[in-house]
Amino acid sequence: MKHPYHQKVSFAIGTGRCGTKFLYQLFQKENGVASHHERYPLSDTFQRYCQWNQLPVDTAGFLAQKEEGIRQDLSKYTHSFEASAYLSLSVLPLYEQFDAKFVFLVRSPHKVVNSYLQKHWYDQPVYRTNPQLAAGFQPGMKEPHHSFSRLVPRGEEAERWVHYTQVGKLAWFWRTINDAIQKQFASLPDTHRMTIRIEDFNFQKYQEVCDFLEYPQTHSAAAFEKLTSSKPNRLYSRRTVADWSEQAREEFEQEVATLSEQWGYPWQTAPLIAKEEKQETKQPAPWRVKYQQLRKDLQLRKKLIQFLERH
């Protein structure tokens, strides 16, 4: 008997900072597809926290919320799509409940790490007295779901991890999430899983994704190129491997080497730094310095106005 959600539900997953939001934006413009990005962040990160820490928590509420959204989608569209790194440890329950298909996006580890550094992941100490227990809710997070989304190891791994630099922790996260997804994918039929390096993503790959998901692809090659080339200007300094400490570089190489070799990514930091330096000489950006100075001046002016208004 055909599953009621057969070929109607799909998800894009990965580490985050790997192209999931980009895919969501592409599918937003496809007819017949209801496309979402991180639709239920609190529910989904709590579920990921429970999955990671192997807590005996029932998944019925998590799946019920997902199903409610999917039903709303299918009342107006033929396909329901969600891109969310928060779902990366929930592949099997989503597959079993919705006969869902999955697109697994991977990205070069040093780019993911530097992107998360910009987002301040793992820049605060983890409060925990017993490393054998799951880390509890952490103070200082901007949003409640952030406390659940930052995975923290337990046991012997935690004793090593706690001494890692921020880069080392993020490299561990890259390896851990990607490895967990691969293990879950081993239980799925080939018809329901697809892995793509975001660096290889072009119009042909996009067509392959649409065929895999059985979406009615309508973008032309020209429209696709226009969408993918319209990137916002970067108004802050990009993090680089050269910024990392020697300890951070060693931790990074130790964590990401095996999976990087599997996917053909560079992981030795010396060549990465040399490549960065070569690119920097080709692409100087003095306007960034001017922008940063202007922003500081505006902030000082705002503080002065606030002070004068109070007095």
- What pLDDT score does 201 carry? 96
Sign of the CA dihedral 209, 215, 219, 224?
A: negative
Phi, psi of 35 (to 5 degrees): -110, 135
Sign for the pseudo-dihedral over CA of 199, 288, 116, 277: positive
Q: What is the mean pLDDT of residues 41-63?
A: 98
Q: Where are the beta strands (DSSP E) in 144-217?
A: 193-197
Residue 212 has pLDDT above 60, yes or no: yes
Q: Once rounded to an integer, what is the mean pLDDT over residues 278-306?
A: 68
Higher pLDDT, 157 or 294: 157
**Mean of the pLDDT values across residues 11-19?**
98
Angle made by CA atoms 40, 42, 45, in degrees to the nearest 5: 100
- Structural domains present in the chain: 9-229 (3.40.50.300)
Range scoring the smallest mean pLDDT among 3-17, 110-124, 268-282:
268-282
Sign for the CA dihedral angle at 43, 86, 88, 49 comes to negative
So what's the pLDDT on residue 138? 95
Report how far residue 154's alpha carbon sits from residue 157's, in angstroms, rounded to the nearest whole number: 6
Compute φ and ψ for 93, nearest 5 degrees: -60, -35
Q: Which of 2-6, 73-77, 216-220 has the highest mean pLDDT?
A: 73-77
Report the distance separating Cα 101 and Cα 111, nearest Å: 26
pLDDT at 206 over 90: yes
Q: What is the mean pLDDT of residues 148-156?
A: 97
Retrieve residue 86's tokens: 């928060």
C-alpha–C-alpha distance, residues 117 and 159, integer Å: 22
Q: Rounded CA gap, 10 and 34, in Å? A: 10
Examine the pLDDT at 6 and tell me if it is beyond 70: yes
Q: Which of 17, 242, 238 is nearest to 113 (CA)?
A: 17
Token pair for residue 5? 């959600």
With cut-offs at 50, 70 and 90, classify the pLDDT of residue 233. very low
pTM of the model: 0.89
